[in-house]
Amino acid sequence: MKVLALILAGGTGTRLGVLTETLAKPSVYFGGKYRIIDFALSNCAHSQLEGIAILPQYRPVELISHVAMGRPWDFVRRTSYFAVLPPHKEWYQGTADAVFQNIEYIDYLKPDTVLVLSADHVYLMDYRPLLKYMDLKNARAVLAATTVPWEEASRYGTVITDEHERIMEFQEKPAEPKSNLVNMGIYAFKWHYLRDLLLEDSVREESSHDFGADIWPRVVGSGEPAYAYRFDGYWLDVGTIKSFWEGHMDLVAPFPRLNLYDPRWKIYTNPADLPSPIFLGSGSARSALVSEGSVVKGNLLRSVVGLQTFIDDDAEVVESVIGPRSYVGKGAKLYRVITGESVCIEEGVVIGEGEDLPNEVAPQIYTDGITVIGRNASIVKGSHLGRQVAVQEGAVVNGVYGSGAFIYRQ
């Protein structure tokens, strides 16, 4: 086998708050009908990779069910190898340890190159130019990199390169970044080289066994000629509430930065076989994405609506992301709201009015005026919720809660 893609899908997604309380981040819905992992899987399918393995960890059951042995991506026919490899010895201690624990599987497949991917990012990318770039550089290690606004660079591993794109310095989430060229979490290694790195890392007691924190600083520090492959397309780490919301707003912008309508690069998913969405009565949508099986009788503005969702008469949904199989009742008003799946918002509920106050439990997670409601929660008729409110999965909310409240499941 020439190339084996390893998709790291163990993320707990703690910065997504109540959206990932009982759901792995790669399994979270994005764009109404897709799961976040669908983007990496679809990229693999379009790139015609020979072998693909998914390494899940946190809450893997729903993810494994969704992947369905790769049928939606035609991996059974397209590839020579497809597998899901959950932890079989002990809990993965880090991203590098996830690969280390599967060394025997990888050795059995005898790949020349291993492509390590994250299941947590939204992007459209053909991996073949990256692999060709690796061959042209005669490199044993290459990472994909992109530029981000300077104020966001401290969230990522930052890369400093010379005029030939050789990596001269790598810093993992520095407080004061020297560069806004950041690590995308996409790595290509010659397997024999990565194998040695993983074996060395496994016995280092001080290591966190992470690619960003341990492996890449070791590669660069050793003087190994490793290179950055610059990617200038759309790429978004949807690991925070703010970025998750911004990614959805990108979908409904006048000129969408993320184009899901390119017939040459479809995003595949486990099909739902549902009818087209329908607008009834005075139902309307402006700059909105409405998924299959949904019924809209209210009004949508700059919003994304998931599969099989019902927006009732006179409801107003603005700059919001409504999860699949949800209900928004008559006359409800939603402003900057994100919901998980199967959320019931009853008649006359108002969410998202008032001033921005810090969330009383997790002010660093619930920001930018966005209220987040976990899946299977219910907001009872006539209730009012302010901004930057968090509602736990399965909670039943009845009453008035000001901005910054955290509402627990009873």
Shared domain for 233 and 297, answered yes or no, is no
**Is residue 290, in this structure, part of any structural domain at all?**
yes
Q: What is the pLDDT of residue 59?
A: 86
**Is residue 257, in this structure, part of any structural domain at all?**
no
Rounded to an integer, what distance in angstroms lies between the CA atom of residue 334 and that of residue 379? 12
When comparing pLDDT for 69 and 229, which is higher?
A: 229
Residue-wise burial string across 243-254, b where 16 or more C-beta atoms lie within 10 A, e elsewhere: bbbebbbbbbee
Q: Domain containing 50 — which CATH number?
A: 3.90.550.10
Q: What is the pLDDT of residue 57?
A: 86
Q: What is the pLDDT of residue 11?
A: 76
Residue 42 in this model has a pLDDT that exceeds 90: yes
Shared domain for 305 and 334, answered yes or no, is yes
- Number of Cβ within 10 Å of residue 173's Cβ equals 15
Shared domain for 217 and 344, answered yes or no, is no
Q: What is the pLDDT of residue 79?
A: 62
260, 262, 265, 270 alpha-carbon torsion, rounded to 10°:
50
Shared domain for 199 and 317, answered yes or no, is no
**Is residue 181, in this structure, part of any structural domain at all?**
yes
User: Which of 37-41, 75-79, 153-157, 302-306 shows the lowest per-residue confidence on average (mean pLDDT)?
Assistant: 75-79
**Residue at which a domain ends, from 188, 218, 251:** 251
Shared domain for 237 and 155, answered yes or no, is yes
- Residue 45: which pLDDT band, with cuts at 50, 70 and 90? very high
pTM across the whole model: 0.95
8 A C-beta contact, residue 295 and residue 260 = no
Per-residue pLDDT tens over the stretch 133-142: 999 999 999 9
Shared domain for 322 and 176, answered yes or no, is no
Per-residue pLDDT tens over the stretch 155-172: 999 999 999 999 999 999
Quote the DSSP letter at residue 143: E
Q: Which residues, including other chains, have CB under 8 Å from residue 186's CB and lie 6 or more apart?
A: 115, 116, 117, 118, 125, 127, 130, 143, 144
Q: What is the pLDDT of residue 104?
A: 93
Residue 343 in this model has a pLDDT that exceeds 90: yes
8 A C-beta contact, residue 234 and residue 123 = yes
Percent with pLDDT over 70 in the chain: 99
**Residue at which a domain ends, from 251, 284, 306:** 251
Q: Domain containing 333 — which CATH number?
A: 2.160.10.10
Quote the DSSP letter at residue 212: I
**Is residue 213, in this structure, part of any structural domain at all?**
yes
**Residue at which a domain ends, from 251, 280, 314:** 251
Per-residue pLDDT tens over the stretch 1-31: 699 999 999 877 789 999 999 999 999 999 9
User: Which of 62-76, 116-130, 329-343 shows the lowest per-residue confidence on average (mean pLDDT)?
Assistant: 62-76
How many domains is the chain partitioned into structurally?
2
**Is residue 197, in this structure, part of any structural domain at all?**
yes
**Is residue 265, in this structure, part of any structural domain at all?**
no
Shared domain for 231 and 131, answered yes or no, is yes
Q: What is the DSSP string of 291-329?
A: -TT-EE-SEEES-EE-TT-EE-TT-EEES-EE-TT-EE-
**Is residue 262, in this structure, part of any structural domain at all?**
no
- Residue 86: which pLDDT band, with cuts at 50, 70 and 90? confident
Q: Containing domain of residue 293, as a range?
A: 272-407
Shared domain for 24 and 61, answered yes or no, is yes
Shared domain for 232 and 287, answered yes or no, is no
Rounded to an integer, what distance in angstroms lies between the CA atom of residue 307 and that of residue 31? 10
Q: What is the pLDDT of residue 78?
A: 64
Shared domain for 121 and 239, answered yes or no, is yes
Shared domain for 153 and 229, answered yes or no, is yes
Shared domain for 240 and 336, answered yes or no, is no
**Is residue 210, in this structure, part of any structural domain at all?**
yes
